[in-house]
Each structure stands twice: as structure tokens, then as C-alpha cells.
Amino acid sequence: KPVFVLNGPNLNLLGLREPAIYGTATLKDVAARCHAHAATLGLAVDFRQSNHEGELVSWVHEARDGACGIAINAGAYTHTSVALHDALKAADLPSVELHLSNVHKREAFRHHSFLAPAVTGVICGFGVESYVLALSALHSLVSANK
Ligand code: DQA
């Protein structure tokens, strides 16, 4: 089974959107980086992006049976979505909340995460490396579960 790497709202604009905060790599570049790193770990990656909360919820449901772990950058839904919290709880899989930016250095409204209590762990602040670190963490968790 693959690892799902799920991306939330506005991440389709990565590379164009506030590059001083989020960098110049596009989401396509991030996907390529994830696939390359996953290959070194012997993991398969299913990389997706949606601007719609319900679609992200449905993907987390799909992961219950279809994935061995979840890495999720839920964007702004991190700070608002009880539905994603509940979906991640229900998925009951190794999971990582990740962010490109260090959300704790930023506006106060980014300091709270509804997802954090529902995932295994959180990685933020390392730019595209946050995705690489999340995949390495999931790889360790998934191997330990075998
Ligand atoms: C983000 C941080 C969120 O606060 C923000 O809403 C995003 C991107 C990040 O990757 O740094 O859309 O998740």
C-alpha cells in the first residue's frame, strides 16, 4: 500500500504564492521530491492536492484501507477543521501533520492545530524538506508496525 501525501487549499499555487514564506518550488517539484525520496525508502507515494475540505476528508477515509500511512499538509484547514481531525482519528494510521513554514513563528491564528491531537507527530518549518522528513518518519513508523 502507498503512503498518501495530501495537500490542502492554496498549495496548488506553491512557487507563486508568497515565495518569501513558502519558497519557489512548485507543488509539482514537491511531488517529484517526494517520489524520489520515497523510492530510496522503498515506499510508494500517492500525492494529491485539493482546495476542498470534503475531498480531503474523503481521501483520509480512502486511506483507512488504501494506504499504510498519511502525510498531510492541510494548509489553512489545519487551523479550522474538526472534520479532518475526526477523519484522521477514524483512519487510525501512522500519520504526520506537516507544514512548509514554521507556523509557530507566524500569526497567532496559525499556532493552533485541530490536526495535531489526531496524528502521530508534527513537522514544520523545513520548507520542502518537511515533506522528506515526514516520509522518513512514516517509513520508520510503518516498518515498526510490520
Ligand atoms: C502551511 C501553513 C498554514 O498556516 C497555511 O495556511 C498554509 C500553508 C504551510 O505549509 O506552511 O496554507 O500549511
Q: Is 99 a catalytic residue?
A: yes
Measured in Å, residue 60 CA sits from the centre of ligand 1 at 19
Mean pLDDT of the chain: 97
Residue 62 pLDDT level (bands cut at 50, 70, 90): very high
**Ligand 1 within 6 A of 90 CB?**
no
Q: pTM of the prediction?
A: 0.97
Strand order in the sheet with 45-49: 45-49, 3-7, 69-73, 95-99, 121-124
Nearest to 45 by CA among 142, 136, 135: 135
Residue nearest to atom 1 of ligand 1 (CA): 75
Ligand 1 mean position, distance from CA 102 (Å): 9
Q: How confident is the model at residue 145 (pLDDT cuts 50, 70, 90)?
A: confident
| Any atom of ligand 1 within 6 Å of the Cβ of 6 | no
Type of residue found at 123: I
Rounded to the nearest angstrom, the distance between the alpha carbon of 146 and the centre of ligand 1 is 32
In this prediction, residue 34 has a pLDDT band, given cuts at 50, 70 and 90, of very high
Class of domain 3-145: alpha beta
Closest CA to 43 of 96, 112, 120, 99: 96
* Calpha distance 90→77 (Å, rounded): 18
